[in-house]
Structure formats: C-alpha cells, structure tokens
Amino acid sequence: MYISGTGPAVLVYVAVTGGLGWLFYRRRRAVLDERRARERDRLRKLRKKGKGKSRRAAAGR
C-alpha cells in the first residue's frame, strides 16, 4: 500500500545513505592507500641500506 508523500522521503533516504556510504568508502580507501605507501617507502629504504629481505629469504628458505 502506497502512502502519499513517502516517495520524496525514500529518495532522500537513498541519496543520504548512498552519499554517506560513498564518503566512508573513500575515506577508508585513502587510509589504506596511505598505509601501503608508507610501507612501500619503508621497504624501499631498507632495501637501499641492504637490509631488505632477499628473494630467497622471502621464499622461506
């Protein structure tokens, strides 16, 4: 059964929840990308110093 006037409310609800979900997703991705970039830089510095894992060590030998 349709109640008149609920159409716009449903559209606003969908828009707001979609927008909040998208913002949450973007924030989460930014945090993860930053973490990956920091880890990449850390490993690059270790390799530069000769202290990074060699391929043989990384393979578990």
b or e along 28-55 (b: 16 or more beta carbons within 10 Å of the residue's beta carbon)?
eeeeeeeeeeeeeeeeeeeeeeeeeeee
If pLDDT is split at 50, 70 and 90, which confidence band does 1 have? confident
> pLDDT for 2-53, tens place per residue?
788 899 999 999 999 999 999 999 999 999 999 999 999 988 888 887 766 6
pTM of the model: 0.56
3-state secondary structure at position 14: helix
